[in-house]
Copies of this chain bind each other. A is one copy, B any other.
Amino acid sequence: MSALSIGDLARRTGVPVETIRYYERMGLLPKPPRTEGNYRAYEATHERRLAFVKRSRDLGFGLDAIRALLDLANGADRPCGEVDALARDQLAEVERKIADLTAMRAELQDMLGHCRNDTVADCEIIGRLRGK
């Protein structure tokens, strides 16, 4: 009844058309049926699956982890330990990145704070990049 074109799906989910095709190639989305004219024809199930992928991407999960999450999500009766482990790994990764970026921010702010807007020869930023 309510078949969606790839463009419709893109508009509804906020995922670009090219990215949807990419996810299909990568095995994250099933190959949808086609119309007579060879257009992809999506249903609500596809939209739900793509939304799941998008929310996972927005949390920074990699495509491998998302494939695993999608598989795990299908075993309703199974315990969710593996899901939680993936989420904890992702949290650890995010925290590592935040730590790295926070150190970069501190150094950049300090450099900028010490710069007297003088010549390059006296610039604290260049000085520190040169190693004092």
CB distance from A45 to the nearest CB of B (A): 12
**Chain B residue nearest in CB terms to A60:** B104
Q: Which of A1-9, A21-29, A68-76 contacts B (4 or more CB under 8 A)?
A: A68-76
Are the CB atoms of A112 and B91 closer together than 8 Å? yes
Count copies of this chain in the complex: 2
Are the CB atoms of A123 and B80 closer together than 8 Å? yes
Within 8 A of B (CB), among A7-52: 48, 51-52
Which residues on the B side are within 8 Å of A91 (C-beta)? 105, 108-109, 112
Contact of A126 among B73, B102, B128 (CB under 8 A): B73
Q: How far is the CA of A76 from the CA of B112 in the complex (A)?
A: 18
Interface SS of chain A = helix
Which residues on the B side are within 8 Å of A126 (C-beta)? 69, 72-73, 80, 83
**Chain B residue nearest in CB terms to A112:** B87
A119 and B52 contact, Cβ closer than 8 Å, known pairs A94-B108, A98-B101 = no
Interface size on A, residues (CB 8 A): 51
A120 and B83 contact, Cβ closer than 8 Å, known pairs A97-B101, A107-B59, A129-B52 = yes
Within 8 A of B (CB), among A82-132: 83-84, 87-88, 90-91, 94-95, 97-98, 101-102, 104-105, 107-109, 111-112, 115, 117-123, 125-126, 128-131
